[in-house]
Amino acid sequence: KDEKLAESFDVYLCNEFSLPSFAIKFIQEEYETYEARNDDIYVVSYPKTGTTWLQEIVYLIHSNVDIKSALTLGLNKRFPYIEHSMTNFSEVKNMGSPRLLKTHLPYSCLPEDILQKQCKMIYITRNPRDVAVSYYHFACMLKETQYKGNFEQFFQRFYFDRTTYSPFLLHNLEFWNHRNDKNVLFLFYEDLKRDITSNLKKIAAFLDHKLSPEDLISIKEHTDFKSMAKTESTALSEDSSIGNKGSFYRKGQVGDWKNYFTQDMIQMLDDKVNEVLKDSGLQYTYEL
């Protein structure tokens, strides 16, 4: 455990990544024996990049638009977060196939069997400025962290890769380098905001599903920001770590960073992005 990282975030190192203690526990207890199934579908992401939105979309596509179950069953039951302590892993082992599973683990920390079996993985990311702002509000809201600092202090933490599942850029880059694998679909939050319909079609095609025009409309309506914010089953209310469930759906916009970032912060982060991602072709969208 790196004491310097601990402060308000309970962070442990795994490879180069700062993981929460529950993820380390998962790796210690389940990693070696983890049994993936060939038809498992994983939604993978760095936190605050649109994971919940993507999970709900994948659930609806996969369930042939079963809005009723989406409204009545909690998302964490339908789509467990495998390494989180709130998840009863024996229930995950007993789920019917195909399983829909969520993880924030980076590519290099994923259980080997997931990679061996080439399970389908949909990865989502978002521009790092909006991620930092969203993560700041989440850290303030989370019972476990109850972050008390201001945004400037949080920015330093994010910049120096001291927030859980960081480094953000490396998390992205690892999956980006696998974006052309046939079992990987790499998505951007901003693309979903810009054109949800073509992204729904893209996700459906990846999952070998066909969507009728009516299906498309239903999914679009149900997963719209305002609609998801009102839906109890996606409000993460079962997640005891959420202090105030309402504020999980905060703004759902591209570009809220403009209300928080100073010119210095923009410059610092841009320099880091350019250095880490140089020649990778990975580029972010900061405004629509």
Neighbours of 83 (CB within 10 A): 24
d(CA 243, CA 138): 10
CB of 275 to ligand A3P, least distance (A): 25
CB of 158 to ligand A3P, least distance (A): 14
Question: Are the C-beta atoms of 28 and 173 separated by less than 8 Å?
Answer: no
> Does 52 participate in binding ligand A3P (rule CB under 6 A)?
yes
The site map against ligand A3P for 71-110 (x = CB under 6 A) is ----------------------------------------
Stretch near ligand A3P under the rule CB under 6 A, chosen from 110-118, 169-177, 222-230, 261-269: 222-230
CB of 126 to ligand A3P, least distance (A): 8
Kindly write down the DSSP assignment for every residue of 233-272, as one continuous string.
Answer: GGTTTT-TTBS-GGGGS----S-GGGGT--HHHHHHHHHH
- CB neighbour list of residue 150: distance below 8 Å, 6 or more residues apart: none
> Does 9 participate in binding ligand A3P (rule CB under 6 A)?
no
> Does 51 participate in binding ligand A3P (rule CB under 6 A)?
yes
Kindly name the residue from 84, 104, 137, 222 that is annotated as catalytic.
104
104 as an active site residue: the answer is yes
- Contacts with ligand A3P in 133-152 (CB under 6 A)? 134, 137
> Which CB sits closer to ligand A3P, 221 or 271?
221
Residue with tokens 């983890």: 34
CB of 109 to ligand A3P, least distance (A): 18
> Does 211 participate in binding ligand A3P (rule CB under 6 A)?
no
Residue with tokens 């929460």: 20
- Count, residues near ligand A3P per rule CB under 6 A: 19
Residue with tokens 């038809």: 39
Binding residue for ligand A3P, selected from 256, 266, 268, 286, defined by CB under 6 A: 256
Question: Are the C-beta atoms of 282 and 173 separated by less than 8 Å?
Answer: yes
What phi and psi, each to the nearest 5 degrees, are found at residue 166?
Answer: -80, 165
Binding residue for ligand A3P, selected from 19, 22, 49, 123, defined by CB under 6 A: 49
Burial 207-239 (b: 16+ CB within 10 A, else e): eebebeeebbeebeebbeeeebeebebbbbeeb
What phi and psi, each to the nearest 5 degrees, are found at residue 75?
Answer: -60, -40
Binding residue for ligand A3P, selected from 12, 42, 249, 284, defined by CB under 6 A: 249
> Which CB sits closer to ligand A3P, 60 or 114?
60
Q: Residue numbers of the site for ligand A3P (CB under 6 A)?
A: 45, 47-53, 130, 134, 137, 223, 225, 228, 249-252, 256
Annotated active-site positions, please? 104
